[in-house]
Amino acid sequence: MRQASIERNTRETQISVTVDLDGTGRCDVATGIGFLDHMLEQLARHGLIDLTVRAKGDLHIDFHHTTEDTGIAIGQAVAKALGDRKGITRYGSALIPMDETLTRVALDCSNRPWLVWKVAFTRPKLGDFDTELFREWFGAFAQNAGLTLHVENLYGENNHHIAESCFKGLARALRQAVAVDPREADAVPSTKGVLGGGSA
């Protein structure tokens, strides 16, 4: 069972996360940030990951700490659930259309964290949510999940569509990458026999 739970408590946030990589897309999230909850629902549903998140943060200041720390905690839970990453497909990619918007996401569960973020927003906020925080969430998630993650919005006009297509793209690419390859169920997908460090 590829399940894991994480608790992260700081002076700024208190967060608990549970993930099941072999779930059905069940989502029960409450971060105090409506738009972030909506995006995490996309991650769970389209990634077929069961996801439970409870977060309390210093929202009276702004949404930055809660958004970033939620990315950290979910990333840590995914990494813990993956374990030694034996048997996984490792790579995943998705090209996600959403009305006028098209976004490409590609990732490698390499245990070598890296984020390439080529996404621009034309508005500083979506509701109360600062659009610059999307990059913070994706960076925190990639770093802590051990992903090489490339996200590129190819075109689009509606900022909501752009953000949502990024999360849906991550969900579909991650779903591919963490899937178990029945031909290599007992092998780490690397010529080195281990993921992380230098080229593999």
- CATH number, domain of 122, equals 3.30.230.40
Query: How far apart (Å, rounded) are the C-alpha atoms in residues 100 and 98?
Result: 6
Dihedral over alpha carbons 42, 147, 86, 176 (to 10 degrees): 40
Is 121 domain-assigned? Answer: yes
66 domain-assigned:
yes
**Is 195 part of a structural domain of the chain?**
no
pLDDT score, position 150 = 98
Residue 194 counted as domain residue: no
| pTM assigned to the model | 0.93
User: How do residues 32-41 score in pLDDT, each as one tens digit?
Assistant: 999 999 999 9
Look up the domain containing 7 and give its range: 3-184
Measured CA angle at 167 (ends 154, 79), to 5 deg = 125
Taking only the tens place, the pLDDT of each residue in 95-110 is 999 999 999 999 999 9
Asked, for residue 197, whether it belongs to a domain, the answer is no
In a domain, 104, yes or no: yes
- Cβ neighbours for 199, distance < 8 A, ≥ 6 positions apart: none
Q: Does residue 134 form part of some domain?
A: yes
Asked, for residue 79, whether it belongs to a domain, the answer is yes
Q: How many domains does the chain have?
A: 1
